[in-house]
Amino acid sequence: MKPNKIIYFVAILCFIIAALLSCIDFWAFNDVFYAHEFKQNNTAESIGINDEDLNTVTEHLLGYIKDHHADLTIEATIQNQKREVFNEKEKLHMVDVKNLYQHAMMVRNIAFVIFILGFIINKFADVQMIYTCYKKVLAIFLGMVAAISFYAFLDFSNFWVNFHYLFFTNDLFFLDPNTDILIQIVPECFFFDLVAVIIVSFVFILGLTFYGLKKGAENR
């Protein structure tokens, strides 16, 4: 049985989707990245919280998104006052964020399974065909990434608001940086850097895969 080009197209598309969502998952929960951002943005000082409590709150927040905690009820000393960290609006928004993340990871896992099955069905038979299919799918994705990157760089605030409108059905994401701790922990500049490292790592993975397939096709 000859390898089916359509199966390779579908498998490669699923690989790219899984790679993108994996980059998002890696950087959105990366302790080193958060430590760098907190230091760069003087996060603890601007909130009025000590570093230990900031890290504890952040770990709880990220753990909630990953379904390791049942809720976002957590207290900390902020501006010399012991208080509950997140208000009701912040908690409701994080319910939406958690649901989005859980669905994204489900899509990532399904895409990865389809990618593996596609190559098993085709028995990894034709490296040249894989390379050719990958080039075509890659060109489309890189064009999309370039357009999104340009938009984000040109006007990140507008990009970020429209991102939320695309994935959320309410306006709970409009938080007050003067009063809401959530947006003080992860302000817009944090998300600008997050989007940047996700795009760079995603493009790196695509480029590395392209190089490997190109060398494989040349050596056939």
Band the pLDDT of 1: cuts 50, 70, 90.
low
- pLDDT of 215 reads 86
Per residue in 74-94, pLDDT (tens digit) is: 999 999 999 999 999 999 999
Per residue in 171-183, pLDDT (tens digit) is: 999 999 999 999 9
Write the Ramachandran bin of 124: left for phi over 0, alpha for psi from -120 to 50, otherwise beta. left
Band the pLDDT of 195: cuts 50, 70, 90.
very high
State the pTM of this model: 0.93
- pLDDT of 121 reads 86
Nearest to 173 by CA among 77, 119, 58, 96: 96
Per residue in 150-163, pLDDT (tens digit) is: 999 999 999 999 99
Contact 170, 96 (CB under 8 A): yes
Name 46's Cβ contacts closer than 8 Å, sequence gap at least 6: 184
